[in-house]
Amino acid sequence: MTIENPFIAKTRLQTVRRYMPVCRNFLKKDDNVIPDEIMSDALPEYTPITRLSESMSESMKMMARIQKIRDELPGIDCGACGSPTCRAFAEDVVRGALGADRQCVVLQRSEFDTDAAEKDSD
């Protein structure tokens, strides 16, 4: 899967949905029982995905770092770095979920252009 601009993706999904055939249910009209293959006795486990840390003070510090990194990013949500948004990228950086090789491609490009301009002026 590739990351795409959320607005373009929404438009494309609406177009696909418009031309999709009407869903055919797998249950017969006379059969009001849900098949055993679909039913499960196991309950899903709750896993908090929005919690940054166990302690509230550490979470607040992490939120401040996320905002600081987010302010330094271009904010175009291009997804070229592998994260869907710039905020998600900043959160991954603060959590330490990124490898050392993943960086903002737009910022790398602007640094490259700046370095090239400095070399040309020398």
Sign of the torsion formed by the C-alpha atoms of 84, 88, 92 and 95? negative
**What is the model's pTM?**
0.53
Alpha carbon 112 to its chain centroid, in Å, reads: 26
Residue boundaries of the structural domains of the chain = 61-122
CATH code: domain 61-122 is 1.10.15.40
Rg, the chain, Cα only: 23
pLDDT in tens, 47-93: 777 778 888 899 899 999 999 989 988 888 888 888 888 888 888 88
The answer to whether the CB of 87 falls within 8 A of the CB of 66 is yes
